[in-house]
Structure 1
Amino acid sequence: MEEGGYAPDTCWVLHDVDEEKKKQLLCCHSEKLAIVLGLISTPPDTVLHIRKNLHMCGDCHAATKFISKLQWWEIVARDTSCFHHFKDVMWLLL
């Protein structure tokens, strides 16, 4: 994803570690792992629904938006406070 233009926002990692370790910690967030599992196990024309019992961090929000745009996939994520709906309209730009 970084080669495609995504830059991890390491300010969401609260541990006192170096920047490389912070990037590794961001990769293991549960919603990112759930999205990867959903992308490889569902048909392309379905909406991917993710539910979690914690608040979605800003980096996961940005990464999900990037994944939705990159894969042209509709993703709905539900956390403790709201629904996050990601639907890329990239075809409008073509």
Structure 2
Amino acid sequence: MGFWNGIAVGLTTMLGVYIWSRSLGLCMIIGISMVSSMIIASVSGAAIPLILVKTGQDPATSSSIFLTTVTDVMGFLSFLGIATLLMSYI
């Protein structure tokens, strides 16, 4: 599900970036980053509560903190990594 949400959000964002900047390279970077961020968020959103239950923690009180941290850090790192790899296309 995260993949399809990422595709929808990525295409919408790519269209906005293209209208704003007319740069296909920047569109690719933003689109791929959005798809990877949505996949990371969906996997993390499913895995973190399960991990917390296995460790004896209450997932209702602590999963939001971990989920926000994981998705923010991994999304930012994936964006920077993809931008570094595709920098020659900008």
State TM-score, norm by structure 2. 0.28
Determine which structure has the larger helix proportion and give its number: 2
- Which has the greater radius of gyration? 2
RCO higher in 1 or 2 (8 Å CA, sep ≥ 6)? 2
State TM-score, norm by structure 1. 0.27
Determine which structure has the larger strand proportion and give its number: 1
